[in-house]
A and B are shown apart, each in its own frame.
Chain A
Amino acid sequence: MRLEYTGLSDLNGSLVALEGVSGVAYDELAELTMSDGSHRYGRVILIEGDRAVLQVFEGTRGISLENTRTHFTGRPMDIALSKEMLGRVLDGAGRPIDGLGELYPDERRNINGSAINPVSRQYPRSCIYTGISAIDGCSTLIRGQKLPIFSGAGMAHNELAAQMVRQARVAGDDGEFAIVFAAMGVKNDVAEFFRRNFEEAGALQRVVMFLNLASDPIIERILTPRCALTAAEYLAFTHGYHVLVVMTDMTSYCEAVREFSSSKGEIPSRKGFPAYLYSDLASLYERAGMIQGKKGSVTQVPILTMPNDDITHPIPDLTGYITEGQIVLDRNMDQSGVYPPINILSSLSRLMKDGIGKGFTREDHPGLSNQLFASYSKVQDARSLASVIGEDELSPLDKQYLQFGRAFEQYFVRQGQQEDRSLEQTLELGWTLLSILPRGELDRVSDQELDQHYREGAFEALAAEAPAV
Chain B
Amino acid sequence: MSEYQIYSVNGPVVKVTGGRGLAMMDMVYAGEEELIGEVVGVENDMTTVQVYEDTAGLAPGQPVRTTGAPMSLLLGPGLLGNIFDGIGRPLRDLEAISGPFLGRGVNIPTLDREKRWEVAVAVKEGDPVAPGTMYAQCQETAAIVHRCLVPAGLNGTVTKAVANGAYTVDDVLVEVTDGRGKVTQLKLAARCPIRGARPMRRRLPITRPLITGQRIIDTLFPIGKGGAAAIPGPFGAGKTMTQHQLAKWSDADIIVYLGCGERGNEMTQALEEFSELKDPRNGLPLMNRTILIANTSNMPVAAREASVYTGMTIAEYYRDMGYHVALMADSTSRWAEALREISGRLEEMPAEEGFPAYLASRLAEFYERAGYVETLEGKEGSVTVIGAVSPQGGDFSEPVTQNTKRFIRCFWALDRGLAYARHFPSIHWMNSYSEYTAELKPWYNENVSPDFDRCRQRISNLLREESQLMEIVKLIGSDILPEDQKLTIETARVIRLGFLQQNAYHEIDTYVPLQKQLKMMQTILRLYDGVKEAVDRAVPLSQFTATGVFDSLVKMKYEIPNDDLSGFSRYEQEIDAALAKVNAANS
Q: Could you list which residues of chain A lie within 8 angstroms of chain B, going by C-beta atoms?
A: 22-28, 46-50, 76, 110, 112-124, 144, 237, 266-270, 274-276, 278-279, 282-283, 285-287, 289, 291-292, 294, 312-314, 317, 320-322, 324-326, 345-346, 348, 350-351, 353-354, 366, 370, 373-374, 377-378, 384-385, 388-389, 393-395, 398, 440, 443-444, 446
**B350/A267 in contact, CB under 8 A:** yes
Nearest CB on B from A340, distance (A): 19
Task: Report chain A residues within 8 Å CB of B551.
Answer: 440, 443
Nearest CB on B from A366, distance (A): 7
The residue of chain B having its C-beta at the shortest distance from the C-beta of A313 within the complex is: B393
**B497/A443 in contact, CB under 8 A:** yes
Task: Report chain A residues within 8 Å CB of B104.
Answer: 114
**Is B354 in the interface zone, CB < 8 Å from A?**
yes
**B95/A119 in contact, CB under 8 A:** yes
Given A25-B59, A26-B56, are A118 and B271 also a contact pair (CB < 8 Å)?
yes
Given A120-B95, A294-B100, are A112 and B54 also a contact pair (CB < 8 Å)?
yes
Task: Report chain A residues within 8 Å CB of B505.
Answer: 353, 366
Task: Report chain A residues within 8 Å CB of B390.
Answer: 321
**Is B272 in the interface zone, CB < 8 Å from A?**
yes
**A317/B393 in contact, CB under 8 A:** yes
**Is B58 in the interface zone, CB < 8 Å from A?**
yes
Task: Report chain B residues within 8 Å CB of A444.
Answer: 422
Nearest CB on A from B248, distance (A): 15
**Is B92 in the interface zone, CB < 8 Å from A?**
yes
| Chain A to chain B contacts (Cβ below 8 Å), 12 pairs | A117-B95, A117-B102, A118-B264, A121-B267, A266-B344, A276-B301, A279-B298, A279-B301, A279-B341, A294-B100, A443-B497, A443-B551
**B57/A26 in contact, CB under 8 A:** yes
Bitwise interface map of B from 242 to 272 toward A, beta carbon under 8 Å scored 1, else 0: 0000000000000000010101110111011
Partner of A48, one of B7, B301, B354: B7
Task: Report chain A residues within 8 Å CB of B259.
Answer: 118
* A26 CA / B62 CA spacing, docked (Å): 12
**Is B443 in the interface zone, CB < 8 Å from A?**
no
**B236/A114 in contact, CB under 8 A:** no
Which residues in window 219-238 of B have CB below 8 A to A? 234-236
**Is B476 in the interface zone, CB < 8 Å from A?**
yes
**A49/B7 in contact, CB under 8 A:** yes
* A20 CA / B488 CA spacing, docked (Å): 79
**B341/A48 in contact, CB under 8 A:** no
Task: Report chain A residues within 8 Å CB of B475.
Answer: 388-389
In addition to A115-B298, A119-B271, A388-B476, 11 A-B residue pairs with Cβ atoms within 8 Å of each other are A23-B61, A110-B56, A118-B264, A121-B265, A237-B100, A269-B340, A269-B353, A279-B337, A286-B298, A322-B263, A373-B422
Given A320-B236, A374-B422, A440-B548, are A115 and B9 also a contact pair (CB < 8 Å)?
no
Bitwise interface map of B from 457 to 483 toward A, beta carbon under 8 Å scored 1, else 0: 000000000000000011111110000
The residue of chain B having its C-beta at the shortest distance from the C-beta of A76 within the complex is: B56
Instruction: State which size class the interface on B falls in.
Output: 35 or more
Task: Report chain A residues within 8 Å CB of B265.
Answer: 121, 123-124, 144, 289, 324, 351
**A286/B9 in contact, CB under 8 A:** no
Nearest CB on A from B525, distance (A): 20
Task: Report chain B residues within 8 Å CB of A398.
Answer: 477
**Is B105 in the interface zone, CB < 8 Å from A?**
no
Counting from the closest, the 9 A-B pairs by CB-CB distance are A312-B393, A282-B297, A27-B56, A120-B100, A377-B421, A48-B8, A286-B298, A320-B235, A25-B59
Nearest CB on A from B308, distance (A): 16
* A110 CA / B56 CA spacing, docked (Å): 10
**Is B394 in the interface zone, CB < 8 Å from A?**
yes
Task: Report chain B residues within 8 Å CB of A384.
Answer: 474
Task: Report chain A residues within 8 Å CB of B294.
Answer: 118
Nearest CB on B from A457, distance (A): 21
Which residues in window 1-50 of B have CB below 8 A to A? 7-11, 15
Task: Report chain B residues within 8 Å CB of A285.
Answer: 297
* A266 CA / B346 CA spacing, docked (Å): 11
Task: Report chain A residues within 8 Å CB of B102.
Answer: 114-117
Task: Report chain A residues within 8 Å CB of B423.
Answer: 374
Bitwise interface map of B from 413 to 441 toward A, beta carbon under 8 Å scored 1, else 0: 00001001111000000000000000000
Q: Could you list which residues of chain B lie within 8 angstroms of chain A, going by C-beta atoms?
A: 7-11, 15, 54-61, 83, 91-92, 94-95, 98-104, 234-236, 259, 261, 263-265, 267-269, 271-272, 294, 296-299, 301, 334, 337, 340-341, 344, 347, 350, 353-354, 390, 392-395, 417, 420-423, 473-479, 497, 505, 548, 551, 554-555, 558
Task: Report chain B residues within 8 Å CB of A237.
Answer: 100
Task: Report chain B residues within 8 Å CB of A25.
Answer: 9, 56-59
Task: Report chain A residues within 8 Å CB of B103.
Answer: 114
* A279 CA / B295 CA spacing, docked (Å): 12
Partner of B56, one of A24, A112, A116, A320: A112
Partner of A47, one of B59, B269, B477, B479: B59
* A47 CA / B5 CA spacing, docked (Å): 13
**B264/A322 in contact, CB under 8 A:** no
Task: Report chain B residues within 8 Å CB of A353.
Answer: 505
**A269/B354 in contact, CB under 8 A:** yes
**A47/B474 in contact, CB under 8 A:** no
The residue of chain A having its C-beta at the shortest distance from the C-beta of B417 within the complex is: A377
Nearest CB on B from A426, distance (A): 18
**A287/B298 in contact, CB under 8 A:** yes
* A144 CA / B417 CA spacing, docked (Å): 28
Task: Report chain A residues within 8 Å CB of B341.
Answer: 275-276, 279
Task: Report chain B residues within 8 Å CB of A320.
Answer: 234-236
The residue of chain B having its C-beta at the shortest distance from the C-beta of A345 within the complex is: B420
**B296/A118 in contact, CB under 8 A:** yes
Task: Report chain A residues within 8 Å CB of B555.
Answer: 443
The residue of chain B having its C-beta at the shortest distance from the C-beta of A50 within the complex is: B60
**A117/B94 in contact, CB under 8 A:** yes
**B100/A118 in contact, CB under 8 A:** no
Task: Report chain B residues within 8 Å CB of A393.
Answer: 477
Nearest CB on B from A439, distance (A): 10
Given A46-B8, A118-B264, A120-B95, are A286 and B58 also a contact pair (CB < 8 Å)?
no
Task: Report chain B residues within 8 Å CB of A351.
Answer: 265
Nearest CB on A from B178, distance (A): 42
Task: Report chain B residues within 8 Å CB of A292.
Answer: 100
* A27 CA / B57 CA spacing, docked (Å): 6
* A119 CA / B259 CA spacing, docked (Å): 13
Given A26-B57, A275-B354, are A119 and B422 also a contact pair (CB < 8 Å)?
no
The residue of chain A having its C-beta at the shortest distance from the C-beta of B268 within the complex is: A121
Given A115-B264, A443-B555, are A286 and B296 also a contact pair (CB < 8 Å)?
yes
Nearest CB on A from B190, distance (A): 26
Partner of B101, one of A28, A117, A374: A117
**A119/B236 in contact, CB under 8 A:** no
* A5 CA / B344 CA spacing, docked (Å): 31
**A46/B10 in contact, CB under 8 A:** yes
Partner of A395, one of B271, B422, B477: B477
* A216 CA / B449 CA spacing, docked (Å): 71
Nearest CB on A from B495, distance (A): 13
The residue of chain A having its C-beta at the shortest distance from the C-beta of B90 within the complex is: A119
Nearest CB on B from A292, distance (A): 7
**A27/B55 in contact, CB under 8 A:** yes
Partner of A283, one of B58, B91, B298, B477: B298
* A275 CA / B296 CA spacing, docked (Å): 17
Nearest CB on A from B401, distance (A): 14
* A283 CA / B104 CA spacing, docked (Å): 16
Task: Report chain B residues within 8 Å CB of A121.
Answer: 100, 264-265, 267-268
* A237 CA / B340 CA spacing, docked (Å): 35
* A235 CA / B497 CA spacing, docked (Å): 47
Task: Report chain A residues within 8 Å CB of B263.
Answer: 286, 322, 324
Task: Report chain B residues within 8 Å CB of A389.
Answer: 475-477
Nearest CB on B from A214, distance (A): 28
**B392/A317 in contact, CB under 8 A:** yes
Question: Which of A314, A324, A350, A370 has the most CB atoms of chain B within a 10 A radius of its CB?
Answer: A350
Nearest CB on A from B395, distance (A): 7
**B344/A267 in contact, CB under 8 A:** yes
